[in-house]
Amino acid sequence: MPNCLKPVTLSLLIALPLASFGLGRIELPPPEAPTSIRISNTADFWAKLKKSSIGQVWADPLFQDFIGNPDEDIWKELLFDGETDAEDEVLLEQLKMLNGEVVMAFDLDNDNPYIVAAMSAADFHRSLDLDEKLSGVLEDPFETIKSTFQDVEIIQHIDSPGTPDEESSWQAHVGTTFVLGYTKEWVEQCIVRLKKESIKEPQGNPVLNLNLPLAQFIRTNLLEDMKQGAAGQPAMYDPEVLFEALGLLGIDKFSTRIELKDNEMVADNNLQVSDLSKGIFTILDFEPAELPTVSFIPENISSLEVGRFNLLRFWQEIPNVLATAMPAVKPQFDMIMAMVQQQAGIDLEQDLLANLGTKYLSFSVAEAARQISVIAVDLKDSMAFKAGLETALAAPALQPQVAQSLEIEPFLDHTLYTVNNNDPENPIAFAVYADYLLYGHPEGLRQVIRSEDSPASGGKSFEQTELVKGLRKEVPPRAFGYSAIDWKKNLDVIIRELNKPEYTGLIMQNWAKSGSALPPPDLNKLPDTDHIASFFNVSYQYAEADARGLHQRIILKY
């Protein structure tokens, strides 16, 4: 297999964790290539992906009519950014040989991929034969040098030999494993290990995994870019001190593991963080969240979310970050806060934020092709919060802004504040109701307030919905946030948005500019909502803190 791997390879190959016994192929890439992508079994992965909601929609004849029934030649042209040549055809044939476990690891400093994959000896030799044929037709042919190490043949490919752009890769095959890398020493090390230890082949459902060393990216990319951008400018702050104060330097790596089952897809995302008590992480509250006992959540919900956050603690962290990382800016911040307090007649922290609780819930109802959403934030002292809000909105200095931006109306002994915006189809309002600050669609807020006087008040009929029953089954007690979405009910809203002229026009404009080999979709052939909805089900999500940082699980039911 030639070392001139094209970008399309990256989108076709993706990754996962290890087995417990024997040598896992994911253990073989070198330390200088910590970014890794692995798929446990590519043939099984694609087969299971076809059973997913997206896979079923894609294979649906009506959907294929909608996207123009692209054939194999169109896909080749799309993937290879133009007509395929001999090199592309060889690469496609070689990719077909990677039908078992595949690991790709990347040395981002040198843009070098390392490949470790399951491959039969027959396929390996066929790949070498294809390389030999290819070398004779390329305008810039590569040289091949063969050597032996511990009775294993090593093939060196030399691109642009004898020029400043000369680059080599080495590959070998041991047992059932193919390796390709950019140092001969690494390939030899792989040979030694593969001859000593037997490979533990992955079992069970196909799994895809991605590992990203974020610490390296934050320090060598983001931080260095900020330092270089500040070069020659007055030093208002030290980027490294700022990143430390924000908690960004405590981030180590991100990993995701996606398992494809017959009836669901499960994704586990992990953010490894050394300290969750500083900077941006102070907004999170890791105490377990419980389903609310309120009666105002309707039965016909299309989504439900429950979680915790600590806005007061996050607000109090801002001055600490400024004092530590941007001391020159701290006096300006204090001056602005003093001016706001003087004009509003309240202390933002003491009169509003201190009265906010740490729990919130949100729900949506999809009806008549529109979505009505409400967020309810817990209040520690609703009377004190309401008094502070009314004082600020009645402050003489703020009257011009309040009159221009808000419509204030009484509603069933409550006050509804509707925000004047330029999107009449998506109005936003807020109100104080019982022990909650409500925010969302005005009609949703009215429905919540009406529930206080409803004969059904005091019941919890939403608890009997399949959405909530599923949440109780899928979510562990320690989760600090979780949600459920019924995609069948929400598709009406999604498709209605996509069919708006401003969106369809934008799609067509961007399609024309892209020069894509695929024809633009025929919007007149878009399958009806009920047909598309038949392929979808419910998704669940939850988040929790553990000893390593943050863990999120997403479950997509088919």
361 and 455 share one domain: yes
Q: What is the pLDDT of residue 230?
A: 59
Tokens standing for residue 62: 């009506």
Q: What is the pLDDT of residue 82?
A: 58
The length of the chain is 558
Q: In whole numbers, what is the pLDDT of the chain averaged over residues?
A: 88
End-to-end CA distance of the chain: 38
pLDDT of 1 strictly over 60: no
Q: What is the pLDDT of residue 229?
A: 63
**How large is the average pLDDT for residues 246-266?**
96
- The two beta strands, 436-440 and 370-379, are antiparallel
175 and 205 share one domain: yes
**How large is the average pLDDT for residues 247-252?**
96
Q: What element of type H or E holds 433?
A: strand 428-433
The pLDDT tens digits for 94-131 are: 888 999 999 999 998 888 899 999 999 999 999 998 88
Q: What element of type H or E holds 339?
A: helix 330-344
Tokens standing for residue 64: 């294929």
Q: 154 lies in which domain range?
A: 8-210
| DSSP one-letter code for 268 | E
Please indicate, yes or no, if residue 405 is contained in any of the structural domains: yes
Residue 486 near residue 538 (C-beta atoms within 8 A):
yes
367 and 421 share one domain: yes
347 and 432 share one domain: yes
pTM of the model: 0.87
Please indicate, yes or no, if residue 163 is contained in any of the structural domains: yes
Band the pLDDT of 6: cuts 50, 70, 90. Answer: very low
Band the pLDDT of 523: cuts 50, 70, 90. Answer: confident
Question: Rounded to an integer, what is the distance from CA 126 to the centroid of its chain?
Answer: 38
Q: What is the pLDDT of residue 108?
A: 81
User: Which of 210, 227, 242 is the last residue in one of the domains?
Assistant: 210
Report d(CA 287, CA 290) in Å as an integer.
10
Q: What is the CA radius of gyration of the chain?
A: 29
Residue type, 167: E
148 and 231 share one domain: no
Q: What is the pLDDT of residue 374?
A: 97
Please indicate, yes or no, if residue 524 is contained in any of the structural domains: no
Query: Who's near 263: CB < 8 A, 6+ residues apart?
Result: 557, 558
Please indicate, yes or no, if residue 512 is contained in any of the structural domains: no
- Residue with tokens 């052939």, as numbered in its chain: 525
Write 391-397 long-range contacts (CB < 8 A, 24+): 391/344, 391/345, 391/346, 391/351, 392/344, 392/345, 392/346, 392/351, 392/352, 393/417, 395/343, 395/344, 395/345, 397/342, 397/343, 397/344
pLDDT of 9 strictly over 70: no
196 and 239 share one domain: no
User: Which of 177, 210, 243 is the last residue in one of the domains?
Assistant: 210
Report d(CA 374, CA 8) in Å as an integer.
42
pLDDT of 16 strictly over 60: no
User: Which of 185, 210, 235 is the last residue in one of the domains?
Assistant: 210
Residues of the chain with pLDDT > 70, as a percent, come to 91
Residue 249 near residue 242 (C-beta atoms within 8 A):
no
Residue type, 467: L
Band the pLDDT of 506: cuts 50, 70, 90. Answer: confident
pLDDT of 340 strictly over 60: yes
Residue 181 near residue 155 (C-beta atoms within 8 A):
no
141 and 159 share one domain: yes
419 and 455 share one domain: yes
297 and 410 share one domain: yes
Q: What is the pLDDT of residue 111?
A: 80
How many other C-beta atoms lie within 10 A of the C-beta of residue 255?
19
For the chain, helix, strand, coil in percent to 5 are 40, 25, 30
Please indicate, yes or no, if residue 322 is contained in any of the structural domains: yes
Report d(CA 474, CA 439) in Å as an integer.
28
Please indicate, yes or no, if residue 1 is contained in any of the structural domains: no
135 and 251 share one domain: no
Tokens standing for residue 189: 């090390």
Please indicate, yes or no, if residue 98 is contained in any of the structural domains: yes
Band the pLDDT of 13: cuts 50, 70, 90. Answer: very low
Report d(CA 93, CA 103) in Å as an integer.
18
The candidate with the shortest Cα–Cα distance to 37, out of 104, 97, 102, is 104
42 and 166 share one domain: yes
**How large is the average pLDDT for residues 224-251?**
81
pLDDT of 360 strictly over 60: yes
Report d(CA 64, CA 73) in Å as an integer.
16
The pLDDT tens digits for 363-420 are: 999 886 688 999 999 999 999 999 999 999 999 999 999 999 999 999 999 999 999 9
419 and 442 share one domain: yes
The pLDDT tens digits for 52-73 are: 999 999 999 999 999 888 887 7
The candidate with the shortest Cα–Cα distance to 406, out of 434, 433, 427, is 427
Residue 21 near residue 198 (C-beta atoms within 8 A):
no
Please indicate, yes or no, if residue 176 is contained in any of the structural domains: yes
Residue 541 near residue 480 (C-beta atoms within 8 A):
no
The pLDDT tens digits for 164-191 are: 888 999 999 999 999 999 999 999 999 9
Domain count, the chain: 2
The candidate with the shortest Cα–Cα distance to 103, out of 20, 172, 34, 192, is 34
The pLDDT tens digits for 281-332 are: 999 999 999 988 888 999 899 999 999 999 999 999 999 999 999 999 999 9
Report d(CA 275, CA 401) in Å as an integer.
41
Q: What is the pLDDT of residue 2?
A: 47
How many other C-beta atoms lie within 10 A of the C-beta of residue 322?
20
Residue type, 241: V
Band the pLDDT of 14: cuts 50, 70, 90. Answer: very low
C-alpha distances out from residue 344 to 217, 357, 417, 455, Å: 43, 22, 17, 40
